Chain A
Amino acid sequence: MAPFYKFGFFGEQTSFILALLIGISFGFWLERAGFGNSRKLALQFYFQDMTVLKVMFTAIVTAMIGLMYLTLFGWIDISKVFINPTFLYAQAVGGIVLGIGFAIGGYCPGTAVVGASTGRIDAYLFILGALFGMVVFGETFPLFENFFYAGEMGQVRLTDIINLSTGLIGLLIILMAVGMFLGGEWLEKKFRKEPAV
């Protein structure tokens, strides 16, 4: 049963090899979507190119449906899959800070790596900046330590806090995604000033 690593089908070394292969696929698809290009990413925030939204929600819905099916058939034990722990305040504020950095810098960490691998000079500067910002966080950590741990809710999922069945929550997320796709296409038609790249 999956996740195979957690059930001891292979050891840590094999998991590292798989990490490399999974990473190759991750980088490939990011680049295919155009995520190595900072301007294409940033035009999302002017409604001129909604690729970020479309790719992001297509990927989330695809993986979410896959997980739901595998769980339904008992092929994966979701309790052994890593669920990001929720720390409400740090994640809300951290998200806003990261979003500000996204609009200014034009990349996020993963897309900057892809940009750098295809020769984008601004991606290299962005990565240097990110490395610097993380050191600053580490060095000033005592100032934020309480905030960092505030609002801890554990490995809580939407299915734990919304009183609806898992399938229905999944359906609502799919409908929300489709709504965003339609809205995104409409916004692009309205705001796009140059041919799509």
Chain B
Amino acid sequence: MKEEKYWSPYVSGVGLGLTLLLAFVLVGRGLGASGAMMRLDVWFMNLIAPAHTAANTYLSRYAESPLSNWLIFEVVGVIIGGFLSGALAGRLKAKIGKGQRISNRGRLILAFTGGAVMGFGARLARGCTSGLALTGGATLAVGGWVFMFAVFAGAYATAYFVRRQWI
């Protein structure tokens, strides 16, 4: 099956916005992603080092049944929804997103590195692009707007140094 084109950003944006609005109306909270990753971390650390996890002032706040949580269910939904959309558009394919001037290995190393930096930043900021910028942006939370512009600033300032990866 040939890959379909992506839908208009404005159509997709309205779809996302209505999804977010539905979350506010039904459960009184927005969307998220990084919180679920933190909970997966703490779940795993609970298995291998429960005493250590309980003694850490940050990790311990997630330590009680970390996976029985709204965000975990939501992210499982994201996996299903992303898969369905990809399947319908013929986009299910093992591949690596990158420009032509970087090797697969180089890209994968940078993907891990960028993920690590982002994971740290998301915890420091108490949220990521979905949980803080999108959700906080729509509810007019001051921190959400500060965060959103900071994200764009950080990314644009870094783009030049990693240009061989993308362009």
- Tell me the dominant secondary structure on chain A's binding face: helix
B9 & A51 in contact (Cβ 8 Å cutoff): yes
Minimum distance in angstroms from A75 CB to a CB of chain B: 8
Chain B residues within an 8 Å CB radius of A57: 13
Is A99 an interface residue, CB under 8 A from the partner? yes
Chain B residues within an 8 Å CB radius of A80: 28
Chain A residues within an 8 Å CB radius of B9: 33, 50-51, 54-55, 58
Chain B residues within an 8 Å CB radius of A104: 110, 113-114, 117, 158, 162, 165
A58 & B10 in contact (Cβ 8 Å cutoff): yes
Q: Mark B104-132, 1 if CB is under 8 A from A, else 0.
A: 00011011111111111111111111111
B138 & A67 in contact (Cβ 8 Å cutoff): yes
Chain B residues within an 8 Å CB radius of A160: 142
Q: Mark A77-121, 1 if CB is under 8 A from B, else 0.
A: 010111111111011111111111111111111111111111111
B154 & A63 in contact (Cβ 8 Å cutoff): no
CB under 8 Å from chain A, chain B span 116-167: 116-159, 162-163, 165-167
Minimum distance in angstroms from A16 CB to a CB of chain B: 5
B126 & A113 in contact (Cβ 8 Å cutoff): no
B interface, size bucket? 35 or more
CB under 8 Å from chain B, chain A span 120-161: 120-123, 125-139, 141-142, 144-145, 148, 153, 155-161
A32 & B95 in contact (Cβ 8 Å cutoff): no
Minimum distance in angstroms from A193 CB to a CB of chain B: 8
A129 & B114 in contact (Cβ 8 Å cutoff): yes
For residue B87, which residue of chain A has the nearest CB? A118
Is B5 an interface residue, CB under 8 A from the partner? yes
Which of these, B16, B116, B150, B156, contacts A55 with CB under 8 Å?
B16
B123 & A4 in contact (Cβ 8 Å cutoff): no
Chain A positions within 8 Å of B, measured between CB atoms, are 2-6, 15-34, 36-40, 42-46, 48, 50-51, 54-64, 66-67, 70, 76, 78, 80-88, 90-123, 125-139, 141-142, 144-145, 148, 153, 155-161, 169, 181, 193, 196-197
